[in-house]
Amino acid sequence: MNGIVPLYKPKGNTSGACVYRLRHLLQEKKIGHTGTLDPDVDGVLVLCVGQATKLVNRLMDSHKIYQGQVTLGVATTTEDASGEVIARKPLAQPFDKQVIQGAMQQLTGTIDQTPPLYSAVKVQGRRLYEYARLHEPVERPTRRVTIYNFQMLADPFFNTATQQQTINFTVECSKGTYIRTLAVQLGELLQVPAHMSALTRSYGSGFGLAQTFSFTDIETQLAQGRRDFLLPLDCAIPQMSHYELSPLQWQLVQNGHWLTLPEQTAPELALYYHRVLKAIYQRQTQRFVPQLMLLNNDR
């Protein structure tokens, strides 16, 4: 079984738990995901089944879009709502909308981030959250990410009872961006503690929320003998040039041979046989050579 499943991940589940559940439903061991979502985050989580796991890195490279909420006035250990409170600063008055927009603009473009201590980033072979749980000191690496767009979705709300302010936002960013950390960075620019209080991934790996399937959808389809949720592998490369192989060329490709295709000028080619994606070849001078083989990929 091979294909791509754009899953709607519900809150309360880890990405790993979603992979495990789909393995059980499909009776297929070879399944991976294209970018971890924290348990408190819902939304698009693209899963790759069988031969599609070879395309995980390509799918992960795409930009992502989120909708969420930042709360100003409180910071937590995990930088989101699930952590313990480590700092409070009641706001005497709400921040002006233009001030917040200015801070968000400062965080647009290429920026540096230090991943949260409670994250899956590896340092010397161990996850950061392992150091955190054991209360062991560790130097967190800094990474460079790109924020393409960071804007408010509505006017900020100020809670006079808690003296906290919430900001509903949308952000479009590169892979590797921690939205939790972005919320903290916004608070730092405003000189108040902050955390990410809600988050939904609305777009990732080329799929939007409207294209996702819930586990209920998947279970219903399987009970009906259907697998509409399992999309073909070429959904991962919609912009790549296609080439239909002749029977002779197909024999060469099966043996990992290079191809001479003088009429083709694209840097990469998706090779098909009988309209089924079989391989991705890369241009090298006057010929195309194997880059990724997907020979046994019939749905």
Find the length of the chain.
299
- Average pLDDT, integer, range 203-228: 97
Q: Has 38 been annotated as catalytic?
A: yes
As a whole number, the mean pLDDT across the chain is 93
**pLDDT tens for each residue of 216-232:** 999 999 999 999 999 99
The kind and range of the H/E element at 157 are strand 157-159
Q: 286 or 74: whose pLDDT is higher?
A: 74
CA separation for the pair 205, 209 (Å, rounded): 11
Whole-number pLDDT of residue 152 = 97
The pLDDT value recorded for residue 201 is 97
Instruction: Characterize the bridge pairing of strands 287-293 and 276-284.
Output: antiparallel
What pLDDT shows up at residue 297? 58
pLDDT tens digits along 78-104? 999 999 999 999 999 999 999 999 999
Percent of the chain at pLDDT exceeding 70: 99
* Over residues 68-86, mean pLDDT: 95
Asked if 5 and 219 touch (Cβ cutoff 8 Å), the reply is no
Catalytic residue among 38, 42, 80, 234: 38
- pLDDT-derived band at 299 (thresholds 50, 70, 90) equals very low
User: Rg of the chain's alpha carbons, rounded to an integer?
Assistant: 23
pLDDT, tens only, 253-269: 999 999 999 899 999 99
H/E run at residue 216:
helix 215-223
Query: What is the mean pLDDT of the segment spanning 6-22?
Result: 95
CB 6 within 8 A of CB 212: yes
Q: In the predicted model, what is the mean pLDDT of residues 158-179? A: 96
Look at residue 260 in the predicted model and tell me its pLDDT. 93
Chain centre to alpha carbon of residue 211 = 15
Residue 284: pLDDT band (50, 70, 90) is very high
Residue 82: helix, strand or coil by DSSP?
A: coil
**Per-residue model confidence (pLDDT) at position 127:** 83
The CB-side HSE value for 276 (13 A sphere, CA atoms) comes to 13
| pLDDT, tens only, 98-127 | 999 999 999 999 999 988 877 778 888 888
Q: Give residue 298's pLDDT band: very low, low, confident or very high (50, 70, 90).
A: low
Question: pLDDT for 16-35, tens place per residue?
Answer: 999 999 999 999 999 999 98
